[in-house]
Amino acid sequence: MRNCYGYCQGNCIHRTSIGKGIKMKEISQLVIPEDVRYTRDHEWARVEGEIVRMGVTDYAQEQLGDIVFVEVPQMGRRYAKGEECGALESVKAVAEVYMPLGGQIAGINSTLEGSPGLVNSSPYTDGWIAEVKPSEISDMEGLMTHNEYIEMLKGSRQ
Amino acid sequence: MKELAGSSGLVLNEPLLFERGKRGRFGMSMPRRDVEYFPVDEELAGSGPDFPDLGEVEVVRHYTRLSTWNFGVDTGMYPLGSCTMKYNPKINEKLAALPGFAGAHPFLPTELSQGVLKMMFDLERFLAEITGMDAVSLQPAAGAQGELTGMLIFHAYHRSRGRCRSKIIVPDTAHGTNPASAALCGLTPVKVCSNERGVLSVEAVASAMDEDTAGIMVTNPNTLGFFEENIRGIAEVVHDRGGLVYADGANMNAVLGIVKMGAIGIDVLHLNLHKTFSTPHGGGGPGAGPLCVGESLAPFLPVPRVVMDSGLFRLSSDFPLSIGQLHAFYGNVGIMIRAYCYILSLGSELKKVSQLAVLNANYVKEKLKGILHLAYDRACMHECVFSDKLQAPLNVSTLDMVKRLIDYGFHPPTIYFPLVVQGAIMIEPTESECKEELDLFVEAFGEIVKEAEKSPELLHNAPLRSKVRRLDETGAARNPRLTCAGVIERGKDTA
Amino acid sequence: MRYLPHTEEDIADMLQVVGASHLEELFSSIPEDCRFRGDLKLAGPVTEWELNDMMAALAHNMAVAPEYKIFLGAGSYRHHIPATVSYLLGRSEFSTSYTPYQPEISQGTLQAIFEYQTLVSLLLGMDVANASLYDGASALAEALLMGARVTGRKKVALSSLIHPHYRIVVCTYLEPAGFEIIQIPYGLDGTTDLSGLREIEGLAAVAIQSPNFFGCMEDLSGAASCAHDAGALLVASFTEPLAFGLYKSPGVLGADICCGEGQSFGIPQSYGGPGLGMFACLKRYMRSMPGRLVGRTEDRDGKPGFVLTLATREQHIRREKATSNICTNSGLCAVTSAMYMASLGGGGLRELARLNYDKSEYLKGELRKAGFGIPFSAAGFNEFVVELPSGSEAVYRRLQDQKLVAGLPLGAFYSEMANRYLLCVTEIMSRQDMDELVSQLRAACNSLAGN
């Protein structure tokens, strides 16, 4: 997730811009599982047999606030690693979602259509975004581990 | 403190239009039928929409009650930054409604529409004089359409020189319509950042400007309320590399009679008649966004254009290089009439308008400094930008403070914009407010800041006196209910 | 100047607070080489009395009813505007407010727009309508851009019986972005000839206006099936929404997007603007829509209320990726049209539409009886084309001298249409007015033929 757009002349709920008014979680309070790999843009990817499941991290969902709509990737379409494949929308901000690795979309989480809040409440489980049939499974090795991701977050919070 | 305008009077409830009415009522006088019924093609005929039938009194009450839930410039101070919510003179409303104007058909033969054509011709000349530009098109229906027109002219200009360019420079303080308008013409916006003084530097623009960049869109004075002091240098760099300079005139209210845009390197400029020239905003529109250009770009202006030969005004589309047409007819003539009346009423006193608008903004800035954190501590033009930095440790945000302002009887300023100031509070008092009103506004903010220290929850819950309190916008976006469909269905069930 | 409340004393006090010695000093941040030091050469200032006189003189130089009988339509219609509508929209709480970004103190505008969205959806037979665009022409351009977003294609087909100005506006909007625009010809009965449509590949959208520029009702369901078979959207355009009080709505006939000009509903003609861009579509395309939307929700106490919603589509959030660049729209005109529709009601709308139709049929019949040609046979609403004998310019001018504007000469828009005129009749025209037009036309033709 990056490119958080958002401003308004009215009621801005975009937390990254009024973050100080609302207490954000400490890094230690964030859920950062060890069984997934991470991108610098706060997506996660988990190998599940032939496919790789992907979504956005706890940090990403918290930055955005209440998610009201998820634009999921196109079923069956091939995307390159790092390509924009979807978007998360809160009331007054949009964050784009990028492919953690190249491949073809083999499944999308259609429950997000009616319950976009799942990305907020369980970003790594019920709030997953897509299943990818990877072109190169070795791409996973290029992604950050749990520890590397925590280090990156610490760096960005300084 | 002195008694504030905010009070809690009687607010009447009013149901949806669709919950009112009864079959068989009429709210409108029907003309007498003086012709017979003719057969209608049964296959094409429909049953007509299922509108509610209301009596005249019901309609009047419905909209009168709704209107009382609104806050307008006529209600009180409306310091919405970069929106220039100045007073809308009543005489202009009356004159725009004269039957000769309001009842005029756009396809009237030339000889039968000289009045409006002369008004348009004169207004173009007035705007050219005010901006120092050479030619004007009144056609764009709003600022964003003016921007689009400007970008179409950039596109046409570069194409006429043999090569289309693919990028456009847009500063980080720009209004969102700038990149959106440029994108419609296939231009990719390239962001440049303003410097520590809140303005663009020549160097920043120079490093972004190349042979594939069509030019720059710059709002001057910018949305931080500062005059882009390096504009001449910037224009020189852009022109040297074959580009054009677009000025977003949203903030022209600061520099009427003070700066002529045509003399500082601007090639294309749009005005907002609904900001600078006092036409009402109408709860969202309609406005008008005339486009002003230098002589060399005049051939690209939209058609039809008003021309005069031998004393007769007429519309002409005989401009082969024109980008085309953006409006079904000639633009928002009703709005032009109001702006024309405004300019005539003020004449050369327009300069005083800018002087007092800038005086008011600087006065508010000085008085509020210390109460709120001032983002850039320097003299401003027509607006000043504060932030919630001092209140953030109390867990009170910009949103909380401006919502509380409603309870005190003021419309909130623009907030969280420009993006370069975190928690921005952007105040544009305009020249319409007198000193006492500004003092009251400052005093109200002072009270709110005290409340932030003593009882922040009061601010989190604000506003308390309005028709409704803070609304569930997340719910509205997750489950969009955009029509009364539910109500209508229910009505049918019970009928 | 009465709009400027500052006394000399106020100015002196305020300057002291600001730390400036005179007003000019406030502009010291502007480099000297950017300053204008002269006086603006403008007329005025004038007093309110003088302004009244000046504007009355200009207004007097315009031809309007009732002095003139003007049989012009073609995208701008003279209908009766009830006194209540003009009166209510003059409530300055509506007119002097900004876009309702602060919902707590904008519920009046928000509810009025929400009701407008509902009325427009019902009128057009669509699921959702936005809070308005500028006018019918830009609404059509936006609809075609939306069709391209939905389908991922960049080719559109436009009926040649869409208002000629609308077609130019579409080209102006779409051409720089690399769109291919195909014109669909019209047939002998005065409607669009859809026969070649199926051969065009890769279409994003097909746009048809109904009633069309000649006043004829189009076969929208036929166009819908052509468009849908090709994977394209059907965009139904209109300039006269009153027609849907008599005829089936575009939604019923299969349109995916329906947009057009709402001026007919209580908005003064004002020489063509401001108008009202009505815009509606099917729910499944809602997130690709341009413009603002008002939604219903609740406040903290559970009280119903309204907010602007789905704003992530818009320029102030998505910037260059927005669905449109529109910001200021035609809000007050939208509210005006809602007031008008509320005053008319469902019964009134049907009755008024029928009256427009019957009057137009009456005039058509009288012209036929008088020997004039009515070239197109398709069903119409309140406009139709009449053919005058060659040399008709002189006839037209003679009538103009008698304060009759006998429609719109079509030769300027369609080269094959010299001597053909587009006539419009609304409820404003009495039988007597129409009889007068026919007899003057006959007299002028006879006298010129006699010469």
Note the pTM of the prediction, 2 decimals. Answer: 0.95
Query: How close is the nearest chain A Cα to the Cα of B178, in Å?
Result: 14
Question: What is the reported pLDDT for C316?
Answer: 86
- Structural domains present in chain C: 69-80+345-450 (3.90.1150.10), 83-341 (3.40.640.10)
The region, left, alpha or beta by phi > 0 then psi within -120 to 50, assigned to residue B437 is alpha
- pLDDT of A27 reads 83
Spell out which residues of chain C touch residue A69, defining contact as CB-CB under 8 Å.
287, 312
Which residue on chain B is closest to A4 by alpha carbon? B419
The average pLDDT across C113-137 equals 98
Distance from CA of B415 to the nearest CA of C (A): 10
Neighbours of B191 (CB within 10 A): 12
Contacts of B172 in chain A (CB under 8 A): none
Q: What is the pLDDT of residue B4?
A: 73
Query: Which chain C residues touch B31 with a CB distance below 8 Å?
Result: 80, 355, 427-428
List domains and CATH numbers for chain A.
Answer: 2-157 (2.40.50.100)
Instruction: Give the confidence band of A11 by pLDDT, cuts at 50, 70, 90.
Output: very low
Q: Is A5 on the interface with C (CB under 8 A)?
A: yes
* Res C123: pLDDT: 98
What's the pLDDT tens digit per position in C361-396? 999 999 999 999 999 999 999 999 999 999 899 999
Per-residue pLDDT for B208 more than 50? yes
Check B478 against A9: CB less than 8 A apart.
no
Chain C hits for B226, Cβ within 8 Å: 29
* C316·A11 Cβ contact <8 A: no
Of A90, A91, A94, the CB nearest to C318: A94
Can the peptide bond before residue C274 be classed as cis, meaning omega within 30 degrees of 0? yes
pLDDT tops 70 at residue B264: yes
Buried (b) or exposed (e) across C147-175, using 16+ Cβ within 10 A? bbbbbebbbbbbbbbbbbbbbbbbbbbbb
Q: Enumerate the residues of chain C whose CB falls inside 8 A of the CB of residue A10.
A: 101-103, 308
Report d(CA B459, CA B408) in Å as an integer: 12
Q: What is the DSSP string of B40-92?
A: --TTTB-----PPP--HHHHHHHHHHHHTTB--TTTS---BTTT------HHH
How far is residue C209's CA from residue C215's CA, in Å, rounded to a whole number? Answer: 10
Pick from C101, C287, C321: which is nearest to A9 by CB?
A: C101
d(CA C208, CA C247): 16
Cα C158 to Cα A2, B476, C161, C223: the distances in Å are 39, 36, 8, 11
Inter-chain residue contact C108 with B66, CB threshold 8 Å: yes
Q: Which CATH class is domain B353-476?
A: alpha beta
Nearest to A18 among B398, B470, B477 (CB): B398
- CB atoms under 10 Å from CB of B2, counted, come to 8
Kindly tell me the number of DSSP H helices and DSSP E strands found in chain C. Answer: 12, 14
User: What's the distance, CA B286 to chain centroid?
Assistant: 9
Cα gap B104→C269, rounded to integer Å: 6
What value does the mean pLDDT of chain B take?
95
Q: How far apart are CA B234 and CA B51, in angstroms?
A: 57
Number of alpha helices (DSSP H) and beta strands (DSSP E) in chain B: 15, 13
Domain boundaries, chain B: 94-348, 353-476
- Of the candidates B70, B68, B14, the residue with the CA atom closest to the CA atom of residue C109: B70
Residue C47: is its pLDDT beyond 90? yes
Mean pLDDT of the residues in chain C: 96
Range scoring the smallest mean pLDDT among A25-29, A92-96, B137-141? A25-29
What are the contacts of A150-157 at 24+ separation with CB within 8 A? A150/A27, A150/A32, A152/A38, A152/A40, A153/A27, A153/A30, A153/A59, A154/A27, A157/A27
DSSP-derived secondary structure letter, B392: G
Cis peptide before B290 (omega within 30 of 0): no
Confidence of residue A1 (pLDDT cuts 50, 70, 90): low
Task: Check pLDDT > 60 for residue A18.
Answer: no
For the cut 90, the answer to whether the pLDDT of residue B3 exceeds it is no
CB contact under 8 A, B388 and A17: no
pLDDT at A16 exceeding the cut of 90: no
Please choose, from the candidates B466, B407, B471, B472, the residue with its C-alpha nearest in 3D space to the C-alpha of residue B70. B466
Q: Is C77 helix (H, G, I), strand (E, B) or coil?
A: coil
Give the Cα separation of C134 and B325 in Å (integer). 14
Nearest Cβ partner of C316 from A7, A69, A91?
A7
Q: What is the pLDDT of residues B165-177, one digit of tens each?
A: 999 999 988 888 9
SS3 C208: strand
C104-117: average pLDDT: 98
Spatial distance between the Cα atoms of C241 and C218, rounded to a whole number of angstroms: 14
Query: Are B1 and B443 a contacting pair, CB within 8 Å?
Result: yes
Q: Does the structure show a pLDDT above 90 at B8?
A: no
pLDDT the model gives residue C242: 98
Q: Residues C205, C227: contact at Cβ < 8 Å?
A: yes
CA B357 centroid distance within chain = 17
Residue C198 structure tokens? 């199926």
Beta bridge partners of residue C424, listed in sequence order:
C383
Rounded to a whole number, what is the distance in Å from the CA of B34 to chain C's nearest CA? Answer: 6
- Report the candidate in C138, C406, C74, C408 with the shortest Cα–Cα distance to residue C278: C138
Residue environment code for B248-262, b if the CB has 16+ CB neighbours within 10 A, otherwise e = bbbbbbbbbbbbbbb
Band (C319; pLDDT cuts 50, 70, 90)? confident
Maximal C-alpha separation, chain C: 84
Nearest by CB to residue C319, choosing from B52, B156, B180, is: B180
Whether residue A6 lies within 8 A of chain C, CB to CB, comes out as yes
Q: Report whether pLDDT(B276) > 60.
A: yes
In whole angstroms, give the CA distance from residue C259 to residue C132. 10
**For C254-303, where are the E strands, in sequence order?**
257-261, 277-281, 294-298
Whether the per-residue pLDDT at C94 is higher than 70: the answer is yes
Separation of CA C422 from chain center: 18
Q: Give residue C420's identity as a one-letter amino acid code.
A: R
Which residue in B80, B27, B52, B74 sits closest to C90, CA to CA? B74
Number of CB atoms found within 10 A of residue C284's CB: 11
User: How many beta-carbon pairs under 8 angstroms link A with B?
Assistant: 67
Cβ-based contacts of B477 with chain A (< 8 Å): 68-69, 89, 91
Average pLDDT over residues B457-481: 95
Pick among C151, C284, C312 to test the A interface (most A CBs inside 10 A): C312
Phi, psi of B214 (to 5 degrees): -70, -25
Type of residue at B348: S
- Tell me, what's the pLDDT at B1? 60
Report whether pLDDT(C49) > 50: yes
Q: In B, which residues are within 8 Å of C270 by CB distance?
A: 96, 101-102, 104, 332-334
CA-to-CA separations, B245 to A156, B220, B236, B264, B292, in angstroms, rounded: 37, 11, 9, 10, 12
Is the CB of B223 inside 8 Å of chain A's CB atoms? no
**Environment class of B69 (CB within 10 Å of its CB; exposed 0-12, middle 13-18, buried 19+):** buried
Whether the per-residue pLDDT at A21 is higher than 60: the answer is no
**pLDDT of res. A133:** 96
Contact C343 B432 (CB under 8 A): no
How far apart are the CA of C343 and the nearest CA of chain B, in angstroms? Answer: 4
Share of chain A above pLDDT 90, in %: 73
Query: Residue C324 contacts by C-beta under 8 Å, 6 or more apart in sequence?
Result: B180, C142, C145, C290, C291, C313, C314, C315
State yes or no: cis peptide before C45, omega within 30 of 0. Answer: yes
Q: How buried is C220 (Cβ within 10 angstroms: 0-12 exposed, 13-18 middle, 19+ buried)?
A: buried
Residue type, A135: S
Residue A2's pLDDT band, with cuts at 50, 70 and 90, is: low
How far apart CA C323 and CA C337 sit, in angstroms, is 25
Mean pLDDT of B67-94: 96
User: What confidence tier does C65 reach under pLDDT thresholds 50, 70, 90?
Assistant: very high
Contacts of C1 in chain B (CB under 8 A): 345-346, 349, 352
Q: Does the distance separating the beta carbons of A89 and C99 come in below 8 Å?
A: no
CATH code given to domain B94-348: 3.40.640.10
Report chain B residues whose CB lies below 8 A from the CB of A14.
416
**How sure is the predictor about C451, in pLDDT bands with cuts at 50, 70 and 90?**
low
Residues of chain A positioned with their CB less than 8 A from the CB of B428: none
Mean pLDDT of B113-142: 98
Q: Which of C207, C211, C220 is nearest to C179 (CA)?
A: C207
Is A18 within 8 Å of B397 when comparing Cβ atoms? yes
Q: How far is the C-alpha of A9 from the C-alpha of B399, rounded, in Å? A: 10
pLDDT at C320: 86
CB C96 within 8 A of CB B73: yes
> What's the confidence (pLDDT) of residue B2?
64
